[in-house]
Each structure stands twice: as structure tokens, then as C-alpha cells.
Structure 1
Amino acid sequence: MEQVNKYLSAAASAATVSAFLKALNNGDFEGAGELMDENVRFEGVLGSVEGRDEYVRQMSKMKLRYHVKKLLYDEDSVSVLYEIDMGGKNVLTAGWYEVHDGKITHIRVIFDPRPVLS
């Protein structure tokens, strides 16, 4: 039974991250925020953010578009390989999302920033 519970937890974590990315793509920043822990931490190549409200505020200004290529998950972690449309430039990106109790608690994103800095 423990194995079944781990699988269900992993699938739920993947569903949370998928719904989060869909909400961002649809400009539903309130809906995206509901899937995040209040104290979420974001760490990226160009900066970091502490807290759901600040993350949502910044994301609403950027209006990025996520094109998911691959999503891998286990119980509390979801890794996503996606192309992100950053101002008309598609940038291959890897994201690592930690999910606890149905909420995203930590996001780490890596990509080569040269296309968006030039």
C-alpha cells in the first residue's frame, strides 16, 4: 500500500505543477498563486524571489509562455524541461519544483541567459 500512496502523491505533485504552468500560460496569476505555498522560494539564473505574492507580481509583468517538452516526477519533486517564450525568444529551460501538501514550495530554474541578455 505504501508504494501506491507514493505513486498517488507523485502524480498529485505532477498535476499541481502542470496546473500551475497552465495557469501562467493563461494569464491566471491568481490561480497560479493558489497552487503555491505562501512562503515559496524561487531561484533562477537572473535572480531569486521569496514569497508567493512577490513571485506572482513579477510573473504578471513578464507574461512568459511555457511549452512543456518533458515532465518527470517522484513523490515531492517535479522536473520540467520546457521552452519558455521570453519576449519572442524561445529559451530551453529546466525547472525543478518541490511540492508539499499540494502546494509548490520551491522552484529552481536554469537556462542559458545569453539569448535574453543580447
Structure 2
Amino acid sequence: MTASAAELAEAYFTAWQERDFTRLRSLLADEVSFAGPLATIEGADECVAGLEGMAQVLDKIEVKERLADGPSVITWFDLHTTIAEPAPTANWMRVEDGLISEIRVAFDPRGILAARG
């Protein structure tokens, strides 16, 4: 049975927060594309590497709302890091053939960028 887009989004955020990068990789299509204020990435392995890097400063993900419409999911959450104030964040995902194929993220990165110097 194939997971719904909302279930895949929940599994993605759980795996990222738990730093289970093997599980996280299994949710991504090989050709996944990621675009956000800190990076634009093509490919699942590169995407996982980027999320591993961000996990070094990740404290927690506080999901406020998740809305799904067919293959698309938007998750609104507060991104808590160890280096900056929480950043309200919107994450849009598209699911194709039971895997996450596109990820777009929007948040104000100034606190994180300032802390990283």
C-alpha cells in the first residue's frame, strides 16, 4: 500500500528530526529537487546531505499545520535551531509514484546566516 502525500510528509519530518537519514532517503525519489533560501539541490543523495548539514543545528520541528491536496502537501512549522530564534517556515512537497519528488521551502534565513558567520 502506498502512503498518502500527507503520510510521506509526516514521515519526512519525523525522520529528519530523529536524524534517521536512511529512512529519510527512502522517502525521496532519486531525482528529487529541493529549493530553499539556503540551497538549491538536485538528487536524493545531495538532498539528504543538505538535511544532514542542517540537522547539525536543528533543535526541533514544531509543526503548526499540514494541508494536503492530492499529491501536494504544505507543512507550516517553526524551525527551532540551536543557533537562532525559531523561524516560521513553509514547506511544500509534491509526491509522485509514492515518493517525494519536489520540495520547496520558504523562511527568513537571516538569523541562521548571521550565526554561521
Q: Deviations over 1:58-116 (max 9, x none)?
A: 21122133211100011010001001123343111001000112100000000112221
Alpha-carbon separation, structure 2, partners of 1:47 and 1:20: 18
Equivalent residue number for residue 67 of structure 2: 72
Alpha-carbon separation, structure 2, partners of 1:61 and 1:80: 21
What percent of counterpart residues are identical?
36
Supply the AA of the counterpart residue of 1:97.
M
SS of the residue aligned with 1:46?
A: coil
Count of matched residue positions in the alignment of Structure 1 and Structure 2: 109
Alpha-carbon separation, structure 2, partners of 1:47 and 1:57: 11
Supply the AA of the counterpart residue of 2:68.
Y
SS of the residue aligned with 2:30?
A: strand
Alpha-carbon separation, structure 2, partners of 1:116 and 1:27: 19
Alignment of 1:106 with 2:102, yes or no, is: yes
Alpha-carbon separation, structure 2, partners of 1:12 and 1:58: 25
Equivalent residue for 1:91, pick from 87, 92, 100: 87
The higher radius of gyration belongs to 1
Superposed counterparts of 1:1-118, under 5 Å? 12-63=4-55, 64=58, 65-89=60-84, 90-118=86-114
Give structure 1 stretches of 5+ with no counterpart: 1-8
- Runs of 4+ off more than 6 Å: none
| Length-normalised TM-score, structure 1 | 0.85
| Residue 27 (structure 1) shift | 0.7
More helix by share: 1
Supply the RMSD in Å over aligned alpha carbons. 1.5
Give structure 2 stretches of 5+ with no counterpart: none
| Length-normalised TM-score, structure 2 | 0.86
